[in-house]
Amino acid sequence: MIDTRIPFRDLGLIDYKEAWDLQEKTLDKVVKEKLAAREGESPSSQVVYFCEHPHVYTLGKSGENQNLLIPDKFLQKINASFYKIDRGGDITYHGPGQIVGYPVVDLEALGIKLRDYIWMLEESVIRTLHHYSISAGRLEGGTGVWIDIATPGKTRKICAIGVRVSRYVTMHGFAFNVNTDLNYFQYINPCGYTDKGVTSLQKEKDLEMDMDEVKKVLRVKMSEVFQVELIIE
């Protein structure tokens, strides 16, 4: 029987590698359950993780090393780490004040195609921004969520997306800038772009946001878009 209830866990501030290892462990468990399940059963270990990370840059499989604009010694100076990882996409930054979402879910069990899954992640953030009276959308040829798409020179990204899928089970996910220190983006070409900026909910509203409140709104919007019930653990 397909279960539309999926556990939700807020990991708080967690080291990037620790969260990566947790995702890998969870994905392996979901895949094993999936392979052993009877027809129509959903893996019980599916989970949606939210977290924040200490300062870290991650480079996806299709990324270019030169999009990190600083040497290793400078990484130490700004108290940041760097990882080459197994998701799609180019380089991005994670740090405190950013909601990072890691759904580890079985797309096959949920009846969702990969392309639609990316759209649904974007839509969840777009609806969250609409809740805060901010108009956002998608950029042709680029994943993520953007503001002022139709205004050349002002287009800016507020949420990056990069996923990995194994046997239709997902990991990695999205990074939504809420109270993020945007200065850290000056050391990279975000997602490989050299002609577009980045922004945050705090910058757009000119107000420091309540992270717990934004997480709650986003969790509700994800539940609506994916038509599941995210159960807080």
Strand partners, 232: 8
How far apart CA 121 and CA 29 sit, in angstroms, is 23
Residues β-bridged to residue 124: none
Reading the block at residue 75, the tokens are 């990484």
Query: What's the length of the chain?
Result: 233
Q: Which of 191, 198, 214, 218 is catalytic?
A: 191
Residue 88: which of 161, 140, 139 has the closest Cα? 161
Residue of 128, 108, 146 whose CA lies nearest to 223: 128
Distance, CA of 102 to CA of 47 (rounded, Å): 8
Secondary structure letter of residue 153 according to DSSP? T
Cα 147 from chain centroid?
17
Catalytic, 191? Answer yes
Q: Which residues are catalytic?
A: 191
